[in-house]
A = this chain, B = another copy of it.
Amino acid sequence: MADFIPHTPLETKEMLETIGVSSLEDLLAPYPKEHVLPDLSDIPSGLTESSLMRLMKSMAARNRAGGSVPIFRGAGAYDHFIPEAVSPLVTRGEFLTAYTPYQPEVSQGLLQVIFEYQTAMANLFGMDISNASVYDGATALAEACLVAHRQEGRTAILISEGVDPDIARVVKTYVEGVGCTLKLIPLVSGKTRIEDVMSQMDAQTACFVGAIPTFWGTVEDFSGFADALHQNGSLLILHANPHSLAVLRPPGSWGADLATGEGQPLGIPLSGGGPYLGILTAARAFMRKIPGRLVGKTVDREGRAAYVLTLQAREQHIRREKANSNICSNETLLSIQALVTLSLLGPAGFREAAEGSMKNARKLRARLLSVPGVSPVWEDTPFFHEFVLEMPMESKKLSRLILSEGFLSGLPLSGYSSPGGENRMLWCATEMRTEEEIENLGRALEKVLVRHGGNKS
Query: Which residues does A use to contact B, with CB under 8 Å?
Result: 49-50, 53, 81, 83-84, 88, 91-93, 432
Contacts and interface: CB of A to CB of B under 8 A. Distances in A.
Contacts of A50: 81, 432
A430 B83 CA distance: 36
A8 to B, nearest CB: 11
A49 B352 CA distance: 14
Contact of A92 (B49, B81, B92, B432): B92
B88 A49 contact: no
Contacts of A81: 49-50
A91 B92 CA distance: 10
Given A88-B91, A91-B88, A92-B92, A83 B432 contact: no
A415 B81 CA distance: 49
Q: Which 3 A-B pairs have the closest CB atoms?
A: A50-B81, A49-B84, A49-B83
9 contacts: A49-B81, A49-B83, A49-B84, A50-B81, A50-B432, A53-B84, A88-B91, A88-B93, A92-B92
A83 B84 CA distance: 22
A88 B91 CA distance: 8
Nearest to A51: B434
Nearest to A432: B50
Given A49-B83, A88-B91, 7 more contacts: A49-B81, A49-B84, A50-B81, A50-B432, A53-B84, A88-B93, A92-B92
- Name the residue in A50, A53, A83, A84 with the highest tally of chain B Cβ atoms < 10 Å from its Cβ: A50
A81 B92 CA distance: 23
Contacts of A49: 81, 83-84
A395 to B, nearest CB: 29
With a 10 A CB-CB cut-off, give which of A49, A91, A93 has the most chain B CB atoms.
A49
